[in-house]
Amino acid sequence: MTLATLESRGLTKTYRSTDPPTTVITGIDLTVTSGEYLVIMGASGSGKSTLLAVLSGMDRPTSGTVRHDGRDLTALTDEAMSRVRLTRMGYVFQQPYFLATLTIRDNVLLAALKAAPREQAATIARVDALLDRFGIAAIAERGITQVSGGQLQRAAICRALAAEPSVLFADEPTGALNSSMSSEVLDVLTQVHRDGTTIVMATHDTACAARADRVVYLRDGLLIDTLALGRWSQDAADDREVDLVAWLRRLDV
C-alpha cells in the first residue's frame, strides 16, 4: 500500500483583505504519496505559492482540509502547527533568507537546533553530513556574501533537511539562479528525492518540472490537469522535457 503523506480535500483560500475578497484556490483535491516528487505549474498569479503555503501549514485555508501523515493540519492550534512546520516540514524559497551575521554552517544549524534543542550533538553531526553530501562543507564557515547563489541555495536545502522533515516544500527554488547553478540545485533535489524525501515544488521552469514524478497544472486556482512522468533518469531528460512542453501546449499555455 502506498502511504499518503499529504492529502487535501476541497481546499479553498480566499483573501479577505481585498475588496472584493479574492478567491485564489478553489476546491483543490490533491494526494501526495510518500516519497513522491510533485511539481505544481501554472501561470503567474494562478495560485501556486498560495497552494504550497496552505498545503505546508504556513497558512490556513478558508475551507477544506489538509491531512499530513494522517493528521488533520487544519484542526491544529497555531502552536501545534508551528511545531509541525519546524519538525516535519522543510521549506526552500527563491531567496534563501539567511542571517547576514552568521556563517553558512551556523545559519543551517540554527534552525536544526531550534527543532531539536535536546539533541545537539546528533544535530550537529547531521548538519555536517548534509553540508558534506551536498558539496558545501569546504565553504561552510564563510559568510553568506562570500559564496555563489547555487552554493547558497544548496545550503538552504541543507537547512530545510536538517530536522529530517517528511516533506520538502520548494517555491521556485531555482528562480534566482543562472542555468548552471540551477542544474546544480536540481541535482541536489534529485539526490534528496532518491534518499526518500517527499518533494512538493512550485515552478515555472520546465527543466525543473521535468525532474518530477508527476506535474499538476493550476489555472485560476483550479487544478485542471496532471502529467505522470515517472522516476527521473538523466538519460531520459530531453524526452521528459519534450513530453512536458507538449503537455503544456495541449493545455494551451
Tally of CB atoms within 10 A around 189: 25
Cβ proximity to ligand ATP: between 49 and 197 the closer is 49
- Cα–Cα distance measured from residue 188 to residue 28, given in angstroms and rounded to the nearest whole number: 29
Cβ proximity to ligand ATP: between 61 and 123 the closer is 61
Question: How far apart are CB 229 and ligand ATP at their closest, in Å?
Answer: 21
Q: Is 37 exposed, middle or buried (0-12, 13-18, 19+ CB in 10 A)?
A: buried
Question: How far apart are CB 121 and ligand ATP at their closest, in Å?
Answer: 39
Question: How far apart are CB 218 and ligand ATP at their closest, in Å?
Answer: 7
> Cell triple for residue 251?
493545455
Cβ proximity to ligand ATP: between 44 and 77 the closer is 44
For residue 90, list its beta bridge partners: 168
Q: Which residues bind ligand ATP (CB under 6 A)?
A: 15, 17-18, 22, 24, 42, 44-50
Cβ proximity to ligand ATP: between 67 and 204 the closer is 204
For residue 6, list its beta bridge partners: 32, 68
Q: Are 50 and 62 a contacting pair, CB within 8 Å? A: no
Question: How far apart are CB 40 and ligand ATP at their closest, in Å?
Answer: 8
Question: How far apart are CB 99 and ligand ATP at their closest, in Å?
Answer: 25
Cβ proximity to ligand ATP: between 217 and 247 the closer is 217
- Cα–Cα distance measured from residue 90 to residue 66, given in angstroms and rounded to the nearest whole number: 17
